[in-house]
A and B are shown apart, each in its own frame.
Chain A
């Protein structure tokens, strides 16, 4: 077995049923590989990592990996993660969410976690649709696209998760696609190293629901679409706005320094106890 796969096997729970539950060609599997490689590079031990997830296809991910894992209610992954981080600040808390978890049901938690700047890493797999429940439209379904509940056309405008995170105050925001798996790995690694609320948005595909209704083809064709429509931040800076019209940027979108919630909270606690003067 080659090195990468050997590494991934070290982190998998072999008492679970494999191959995993996701559809053939699903991007979550590719993202899981990138996640494991990125975590391995950070040097944390398995016991120092907590993976928290909500409901949905993506919510299934922590079942397969051998870390401290928590499978929570829909949209509330960030709230559970906040509690873990405040109770045990030494743990590295990673929140795995789908687009439904992050910006639909858990939308409010997402913007407020970003605003507070809690030291969490949110990994959001954006497949533009509620895949597990039958392909209903989600807040990230693009305008004019079809889903099982908008069979003619979606007339709502979609959220741009990364821009939302930037505006809400996240200190690190990166976007990648499952086609660019190596970039994904480096983005996650940077996000884990950051103190504060970091977000990695992953453009994935749901060929079973979204792809079939919109005639976008198989997993392979949807990954080719990602390849053709993704532009790196560096390249986008040299392109004209009209060239960028139907493209999206990938790479590090924001990397800034802001005091994390945890540090401020500790300081206030010390003041209140009188162990430190203001």
Chain B
């Protein structure tokens, strides 16, 4: 993600590890192979500059754990995510 933020023009990909089950769908169907899997099978952004913001990883993610966004003003996107992230990520346990 740090790499993604360096490049101003490339879209911002966020992977939400708390919800990700490492199924590999986003990596397998990424048309530009911008994503790759780490040793645990979890996806990470290998080539952020290759991302064309097609959004298929986000649409096909069964766990709603990956998001792609064009960075209009990077700072705002990050701030919003940090605000919402912890609250939604640690949903209360129980049925």
Contacts and interface: CB of A to CB of B under 8 A. Distances in A.
A63 B65 contact: no
A107 interface: no
B28 interface: yes
Contact of A25 (B23, B66, B92): B23
Contacts, number: 97
B67 A29 contact: no
B67 A17 contact: no
Contacts of B62: 22, 24-30, 32-33
A246 interface: no
Given A2-B68, A4-B58, A29 B63 contact: yes
A33 B66 CA distance: 13
B39 interface: no
Contacts of B93: 17
Interface in B40-95: 55, 58-69, 80-81, 84-85, 88, 91-95
Nearest to A30: B62
B28 A1 contact: no
A33 B42 CA distance: 21
A1 B25 contact: no
Contacts of A22: 62
- Which size bracket describes the interface of B in this complex? 20 to 34
Contact of A219 (B24, B91, B92): B24
* Interface SS, B side: loop
- Which size bracket describes the interface of A in this complex? 35 or more
Contact of A17 (B63, B65, B69, B94): B94
Contacts of A9: 64, 88
A253 interface: no
B7 interface: no
Q: What 3 A-B pairs are tightest by C-beta distance, nearest first? A: A29-B62, A25-B23, A24-B21
Interface of A: 1-5, 8-9, 12, 14-20, 22-30, 32-34, 63, 178-179, 181-182, 218-220, 223-224
17 contacts: A1-B69, A1-B84, A2-B68, A5-B58, A5-B66, A12-B64, A14-B91, A16-B94, A16-B95, A19-B21, A20-B63, A24-B62, A30-B60, A33-B61, A33-B62, A33-B64, A223-B28
